[in-house]
């Protein structure tokens, strides 16, 4: 179902609730999701991180690989999410930050909601608003997640641009064997070229460090060890 985005408000959405659990029936079976530079340190021990082009991006953006085919998330089962650390883009559920123009034609950020998201229910979930219209504790938590996403989004785009500009990101194919041992090749992903990173001069490394790009670069490289773990999860 296509998204139906609208500005969140305590009139139209007064009785709306959100399922705070994770599962296939709640729209969590995604193969990849965008990751932000601010969370890479905590994610690199659980997820292999690669790069992928999106319709909205000029450069390949960093993503967490969670499965090997569309509609597969190996971290999600009927019991919920299997790791303690969950990417922020998955934590935010049906919410997002949108922009609108105020009365002076200035753009301002607002909280929006996808009214077609499977996690939206009329009962059995977390309330968004209190009885008299204030934010519920659950919605306050979501707003904090959205603020963290918004705070790191620009730096993540700048990180992707800097790596692409220095030709440090290159196309890769992932070779995966299915349960029967038959090989498959997954295309459309990009990884960091370690040889090109090793060839960087001191000035270039210093520039990346000054811009806050060096640490996330090495976090992505370190996360490649999780590919083997993800394959083991697939064949478990």
User: φ and ψ at 202, to 5 degrees?
Assistant: -60, -40
SS3 content of the chain, % helix, strand, coil (to 5): 35, 25, 40
Q: Please tell me the pTM assigned to this model.
A: 0.91
CB atoms within 10 A of CB 67: 18
**Listing from the earlier edge strand, what are the strands of the sheet with 5-7?**
5-7, 107-114, 95-101
- What dihedral angle (degrees, nearest 10) is formed by the CA atoms of 152, 139, 73, 170? -10
Domain boundaries along the sequence of the chain: 5-235
**DSSP of 88-156:** HHHHTTTEEEEEEE-TTS-EEEEEEEETT-TTEESSSSEESB-TTSPBPHHHHHHHHHHHHHHHHHHHH
- What is residue 217's predicted lDDT score, i.e. its pLDDT? 97
- Round to whole Å and give the CA distance between 87 and 101: 30
| pLDDT (0 to 100) of residue 104 | 67
SS3 8: coil
Give the per-residue pLDDT at 20: 94
Give the pLDDT of residue 88: 98
- pLDDT (tens, 9 = 90+) of the chain, 236 residues, equals 678 899 999 999 999 999 999 999 999 999 999 999 999 999 999 999 999 998 888 899 999 999 998 899 999 998 899 999 999 999 999 999 998 776 666 788 899 999 999 999 999 999 999 988 899 999 999 999 999 999 999 999 999 999 999 999 999 988 887 667 777 788 899 999 999 999 999 999 999 999 999 999 999 999 999 998 998 898 87
Instruction: State residue 29's pLDDT score.
Output: 94
Give the DSSP letter of residue 84: S
């Amino acid at each position: 179902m296509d998204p139906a985005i609208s500005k969140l408000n305590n009139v139209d959405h007064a009785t709306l609730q959100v399922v705070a659990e994770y599962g296939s029936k709640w729209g969590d079976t995604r193969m990849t999701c965008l990751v932000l530079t601010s969370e890479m340190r905590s994610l690199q021990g659980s997820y292999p991180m690669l790069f992928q082009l999106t319709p909205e991006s000029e450069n390949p953006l960093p993503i967490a690989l969670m499965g090997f085919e569309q509609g597969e998330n190996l971290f999600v089962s009927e019991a919920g999410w299997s790791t303690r650390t969950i990417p922020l883009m998955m934590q935010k559920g049906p919410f997002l930050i949108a922009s609108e123009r105020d009365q002076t034609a200035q753009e301002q950020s607002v909280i929006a909601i996808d009214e077609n998201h499977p996690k939206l229910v009329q009962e059995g979930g977390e309330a968004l608003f209190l009885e008299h219209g204030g934010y519920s504790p659950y919605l306050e938590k979501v707003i904090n997640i959205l603020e963290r996403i918004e705070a790191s989004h620009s730096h993540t785009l700048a990180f992707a641009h800097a790596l692409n500009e220095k030709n440090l990101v290159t196309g890769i194919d992932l070779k995966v064997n299915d349960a029967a041992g038959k090989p498959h090749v997954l295309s459309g992903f990009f990884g960091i070229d370690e040889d090109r990173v090793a060839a960087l001069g001191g000035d270039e490394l210093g520039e990346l460090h000054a811009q806050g790009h060096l640490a996330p670069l090495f976090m992505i490289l370190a996360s490649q060890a999780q590919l083997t773990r993800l394959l083991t999860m697939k064949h478990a």
